[in-house]
Every structure is written in C-alpha cells, then in structure tokens.
Chain A
Amino acid sequence: MKSIRRYLTWRLVLFVLFLIVFGNTLLYIFVYHRIVLHFDMALKDKADAFAQMIEQNHEGIALEMRKEFMPEYDRESHAEYYQIWSEDGEVISRSPSLKGRDLPQRAGTFESPAFWNLDLPDGRPGRAIGVSFFPFIDNQDLPLVKNRRNVHIVLARDSIEISNMLRVLLLGTGALIVITLTGIIIIVPRVVMAGLSPLKRLADYTATIDSLSLGSRYNTEHLPDELRSITGRLNELLKRIERAFTHEKRLTADMAHELKTPIAELRSLAEVALKWPDDTEFTNNALKEACAISNQMDNTVSMLLALGRCESGKQNISPVPFDLKRMILQLLEPWHKVADAKDIRIKCDLPDTAEVITDEVMLISILTNLFSNAVEYCPEGGHVECSLKAHSENMSLSIINSNASLTEEDLPHMFEHLWRKDSARSGSSHSGLGLSLVDGFARILGIAVKAELLQSGDFCVTLLVPFVLPEMK
C-alpha cells in the first residue's frame, strides 16, 4: 500500500461496485422468478379450468369445451395451445391452433406441475405446463366405467411479454449499475481526498518544520479525532526532539568553548611571542603556558574518548580484588595540601578493611574526579567528609562537601556532558566532563550514583559499590 488515497479509492469503488452488481443481480433474479411464477400460476389456473372440463364416462374421455369461451386457442396470431392425451398416448384433444401438430409431452401433478420453456409451433418462444390427473366421472357413470384412465394435459402460450419485461428489467438494472458506477468513480475519490485532507495539511505543516522551528507545535483544534491523538504524540515527539536538539546545541557550544578557548590562548601566546621575540621573559612564560594548555586539552580529549568508549560499550573491564579503604586514603592524600591552603577540613569515616572486586583503574578515575570536585568546589573554611559503610551486598561511599552555589535545579544536569555551574565556563582546571565520566564508569561497574543536597545545604555524592562486579556473579 503506497497511497492511502489510492487504496481507499480502489477498495471503495470495487466494494461498492460489487454490492451494486450483487444487489441488482439478486433483484433481477427475484423479479424474474416473481414474473415467471405469476405467469406459471396463470398457466396452472388454465390447466385447472381444463381439468374441470374433462370428463370420463362409459364411452371414454371427453373434453367439454365451448370454443367461443376460449378463442385464444383458435386464432391465427398470438394463439395459445393445448393438447390432451390419454395415459396410453392417444390424443384426446388438441387446440385448433396446433393445426394437427403435437406439443411436447411432460407431466407433473396439480400439486407439482411441470413447467418448461419451449418454442411454440408458430416459432414464438413460449412456456408450457404439463399435468397428469384422473378426469372427473359423473356418479351416474361411475358404475359403468370399468377402467379409470389417467389424462395428460399440456398447455402452452407465448412468453414474449415475460421476455420483454425481463429485458426491460435487465436494461434498467444495467443502466442503474452504469450510472451508479460512474457516480462512484467521480464521487469516491473526491470524498476520500476530502476525508484525507487533514492528513495532507499535517504533511504540509510537517514539511515546514526544520531545526530552527522545533518550538512549533501541531494545532489539534480542527483535526478529526483519529488524527488528534497522532498529532498529540507528534507534539510530544517534537518536544523531545527540541529538548535533545537544545541539549546537543549546548553540548556543541560547550565543546567549542572547551576546545576553542585553549586554542585561542595557545595561538595568541605563540603569535605575540613570535612578534616580539626579544621579550624572552614573555616567550618563556608562553612556552610554559603552551605546555599547560596541551596537557589540559589532552585531558579533555582523553575524557571525551573515555566517555565515547563507555557509551559504545567498548570500555574494557579488568576486575581485581583490592582494599577500597586503602585506595580512598591514597587518593585523598594529595588533596590534603590543597585543602589546607583553603582552610578546608577533611574528615574520613572508614572501616578497617573494605575489599571489593571491581575494575581498579576505573574506580580510581571515579574517586579522583569526586575528590577533586569536593575539594576544589568547597568554599574556603568549609569541610569535606568521606564515609564508607558495608551493607549486605555493597558498600556505600558518601563524599560530602560544603556547598556555596549548587541548587536543587542543578542536580538533574550535573552528570550531563560538559555541564558546568558557571555558564561562562571560566577557569581551565575543570571541563565539565568529570561527573559524566563518573556516571559512565559507574554504569559499567554496576555502581549506583546519587547526587543530593543535604538539609544542611552540603552537597553529597553517594556511591553504592557492589562487593563483586555484577558480571562476575
């Protein structure tokens, strides 16, 4: 089915055509039978009349008929015919119109007479009735009649009138079919087209939607019920596409900023250093900054590649048993110096041992990002807390830091790629990929991650680290 319009048009035309032809045929057959039945009843009435006129007496079988009452059997044109036989085949009587010729002999009973079509002796088409019966015997003759004999009577008359009526009926129904069919062929496509016009309007409107008009929505007010639910779904789809497009645009813009800004820095430093090569102090600083920029860009690209591997399922996992407590202490160690400089207190609540079997490198990456965020985003004079607790199937690790800027509205976006609270994306130590990577690695390792703002206003990230990598169970 390539076109609903063609499909509906053809199906409707064919179906209606079938109904009309079928209905007219049934009508024709019904009327035909009624006419023939009516004709046959008239023949039967005549046969009845003849039967009343045939008597058997001691001399034999006789037809008591007065010709003046039945002139149709004795005229030249449009004559009717009858012939009467005794059961032994002797012709008892025949109509003068037969002029000595015979009618074909068939016999039924009065309850079930034989009717058939035939060619009349004068060549006209006709219809005949044949019945057998025992003729009437008068009571006076009853003792004298030794052998009661059966009689066959055949009456025939022309059926031209029936044929003409049936021809008119046939022509009438045929004309009706042709007229109706013509009407259907003209009307149905138009009706179908009119019925499908909302679909066309929908298609035309859809064709106008592009990346710049994703905020537009289908107007469902004047649409038929069948399309209203579809457009409702389409509007929901548009909303999702718009959201994804906005997200993608933001991602692209952020990505552009993350890469263009260091390139601009690198280029400006290099160009200014080359333009004034005598300024050795600036040149030396520019070279140092160039190294820092290349490291920063390398980190960004590495994180993007790692995220790409996470999302494509190509990140390799190498589970090994290790002590999570020891890992936490080792990873926190370098941050004590930074914390001291900002007057931040770091507090740990760890069990004696906490052995888990998971990918050590990926977990190090997760914890490094979380500790880095906790200390660097913690305001001066604040605190960072790290607590690890064992449960039946996992260990919960909570990293809490004082919070100065995050709000509840920020929480759903925190794990999005390149999201940063500072929309100006100032500073170069964070790219907005750290938490995305935490989320990506955590999914692979079966670690549940939850970010929340505590009642105290502190920011808390909780990891539920399974004792054993789920894939190994």
Chain B
Amino acid sequence: MKVLFVEDSKRLQTAVGKGLRKSGFAVDIAGDGKDGLYLAEINDYDVIVLDLMLPGIDGLTILKELRRQGKDVHILLLTAKYTVEDRVRGLQLGADDYLTKPFAFDELLARIQALIRRRYNARNPLIQIGSFQVNTAVKTLALHGQNIPLSPREYMLLEFMAVRKGTLVTRAEIEQHIYDERINPNSNVVDSAICKLRKKLNLPGGPEIIHTRRGLGYLMTDNSE
C-alpha cells in the first residue's frame, strides 16, 4: 500500500516515513504544498497524510484541488490546529479523517490502515486465502496459526493482492502501490517479488494461489483454476 506524506517538518518526515515503511507501506514524502499536490496528481496513492500548514500551497487548498479533479484518494489531515471549526472545515472539504499534533504513531498507523480497509471495502482486517490468513492489522501471514516470515516488500505485495483477491492486478498497479519514489521499479523487480511470494504460498500438492495472465498481470485466488 502506498502512502503520500505531505509535511514540512523534516523530523516528522524522517520519523513517520521510517515508521510507515517499517510497517509495510511504500511512502512518498513531500516537504511543501507544491510538491505534495504534484505527487498526488501524478500517482495513485491509497492514503494521503496531509499537513494543513504548508509552505507554498496550504493543505486545505491541496485537498480542494484534488477533490475538484475528482481524485477519491483517502486523505487524512494532520495539523497542529485543534479547534472544532478547523476539523469541521477540513472534513467538509472532503477529508476522510483528522489527526491533531502531537499524535501517537500507532494511532496514525491504525487510522491509515482503517482508511485502506475502507478503500477496499474490507472491514475485517483478516483475509482468508485458501488455508492462509492475512492479518492487515498486524501485517502477518499465517498458515494454520503459524506465522510465515515475509520481508516488508513481500508483505506489501501480498496485502496489495489479497485485498484485490479475484481481481486482475496489472504490473503497473503493483509498481504504483508497492514501490515508493526511492526505488526505481522495473519489470524484473516485480517479477522477482511475485516469484518469491509465490514460493512461500505454494504448498506441496496445494492449489496455485498467484496466477500469471500473460501480458495482462497477476490474479490471486483461493482455488486453482
């Protein structure tokens, strides 16, 4: 899942960016409103965490502009402003959630996860794929109660495909949502990641879970075709 974090404080960029990446998110960071708006316009993010007081273009203007362009990305406003009017104004302009500074990192994480579940209409953080169970709240993959170790990138790919179970996922979409601006994705990276994940999900004599559609993309299903 890919998150855009628009915040002018370098320290918050470092801490929150690090925490989100460690939590299995691909994170793009913008330090001012102009860059934030640009990134939000050209990329398809699952969630945008948007500070209100930004140099260049303020957060509310970015929010209005994105909604005007018809972008339905989930936006969480983050700011030191605390009055009810501030919150109401932000929500009325189309924000999906609001968090005031200072905030607990775990709360930010939980709210981002909730917004992602809302985006994919998955109220339950547990996703069953055959005998496997993906827990999007604690970012784990389990088989009969036993956790299967996954690298953050593998988990990101797994969750991205799991929430779209039964739907074809293109390579471009995987690149968009799994890899942030720090990595220059190419076909080999995606193929390699799919291959690694497929190996971990393949049980001896069990059904194929990740299917390749040549020239189209990948499909995750419960059963073999």
Taking Cβ atoms with an 8 Å cutoff, the residues of A that contact B are 253, 256-257, 260-261, 263-269, 271-272, 275-276, 279, 282, 285-286, 289, 293, 422-428
The interface residues of chain A lying within 8 Å CB-to-CB of B82 are: 256, 260
Answer yes or no: B164 CB below 8 A from chain A CBs.
no
Interface centre among A264, A275, A286 (most CB of B within 10 A): A264
Given contacts A265-B12, A423-B53, A424-B58, contact A272 B102 (CB under 8 A): no
Over the window 6-45 of chain B, the binary record of Cβ atoms lying under 8 Å from chain A Cβ atoms (1 yes, 0 no) is 0011011011101100100000000011000000000000
The interface residues of chain B lying within 8 Å CB-to-CB of A422 are: 55
Contact B103–A264 (Cβ < 8 Å): yes
Complex: how many Å from CA A380 to CA B19? 35
Complex: how many Å from CA A267 to CA B14? 12
Q: Quick one: closest A residue to B19, CB to CB?
A: A272
Answer yes or no: B89 CB below 8 A from chain A CBs.
no
Complex: how many Å from CA A156 to CA B80? 109
Contact B18–A272 (Cβ < 8 Å): yes
B-side interface size class? 20 to 34
Q: Quick one: closest B residue to A268, CB to CB?
A: B15
Given contacts A260-B80, A268-B19, contact A425 B53 (CB under 8 A): yes
Answer yes or no: B104 CB below 8 A from chain A CBs.
yes
20 additional A-B residue pairs with CB within 8 Å, beyond A261-B101, A264-B101, A424-B58: A253-B81, A256-B80, A256-B82, A260-B82, A265-B11, A267-B103, A268-B12, A268-B102, A269-B11, A272-B16, A272-B19, A275-B22, A275-B106, A276-B19, A276-B22, A423-B53, A424-B8, A424-B54, A426-B54, A426-B55
Contact A260–B102 (Cβ < 8 Å): yes
Complex: how many Å from CA A198 to CA B33? 52
Answer yes or no: B120 CB below 8 A from chain A CBs.
no
Contact B81–A256 (Cβ < 8 Å): yes
Contact A268–B105 (Cβ < 8 Å): yes
The interface residues of chain A lying within 8 Å CB-to-CB of B103 are: 264, 267-268
Q: Interface SS of chain A: helix, strand, loop or mixed?
A: helix
27 A-B interface contacts by CB (under 8 A): A257-B53, A257-B80, A260-B100, A261-B9, A261-B80, A263-B101, A266-B102, A267-B102, A267-B104, A268-B12, A268-B15, A268-B102, A268-B103, A269-B15, A272-B22, A275-B22, A276-B19, A276-B22, A279-B22, A282-B18, A422-B55, A423-B58, A424-B55, A425-B53, A426-B8, A426-B9, A426-B32
Contact B101–A260 (Cβ < 8 Å): yes
Nearest Cβ in chain B — how far from A115, in angstroms?
92
Contact A263–B11 (Cβ < 8 Å): no
The interface residues of chain B lying within 8 Å CB-to-CB of A257 are: 53, 80-81
The interface residues of chain B lying within 8 Å CB-to-CB of A285 are: 14
Contact B54–A264 (Cβ < 8 Å): no
Nearest Cβ in chain B — how far from A283, in angstroms?
10
Contact B9–A272 (Cβ < 8 Å): no
Q: Quick one: closest B residue to A425, CB to CB?
A: B53
Interface centre among B11, B16, B53, B55 (most CB of A within 10 A): B11
Nearest Cβ in chain A — how far from B101, in angstroms?
4
Over the window 163-187 of chain B, the binary record of Cβ atoms lying under 8 Å from chain A Cβ atoms (1 yes, 0 no) is 0000000000000000000000000
Complex: how many Å from CA A426 to CA B53? 8
Nearest Cβ in chain A — how far from B113, in angstroms?
15
Nearest Cβ in chain A — how far from B56, in angstroms?
8
Contact B105–A272 (Cβ < 8 Å): yes
Given contacts A268-B19, A286-B15, A425-B53, contact A275 B101 (CB under 8 A): no
The interface residues of chain B lying within 8 Å CB-to-CB of A424 are: 8, 33, 53-56, 58
Q: Quick one: closest B residue to A253, CB to CB?
A: B81
Interface centre among B9, B22, B32, B82 (most CB of A within 10 A): B9
The interface residues of chain B lying within 8 Å CB-to-CB of A427 are: 8
Contact of A265 among B15, B53, B55 (CB under 8 A): B15
Contact B104–A271 (Cβ < 8 Å): yes
Over the window 33-77 of chain B, the binary record of Cβ atoms lying under 8 Å from chain A Cβ atoms (1 yes, 0 no) is 100000000000000000001111010000000000000000000
The interface residues of chain A lying within 8 Å CB-to-CB of B102 are: 260, 263-264, 266-268
Complex: how many Å from CA A275 to CA B100? 21
The interface residues of chain A lying within 8 Å CB-to-CB of B53 are: 257, 423-425
Nearest Cβ in chain A — how far from B18, in angstroms?
5
Q: Quick one: closest A residue to B81, CB to CB?
A: A253
The interface residues of chain B lying within 8 Å CB-to-CB of A289 are: 11, 14
Nearest Cβ in chain A — how far from B193, in angstroms?
22
Contact A264–B12 (Cβ < 8 Å): yes
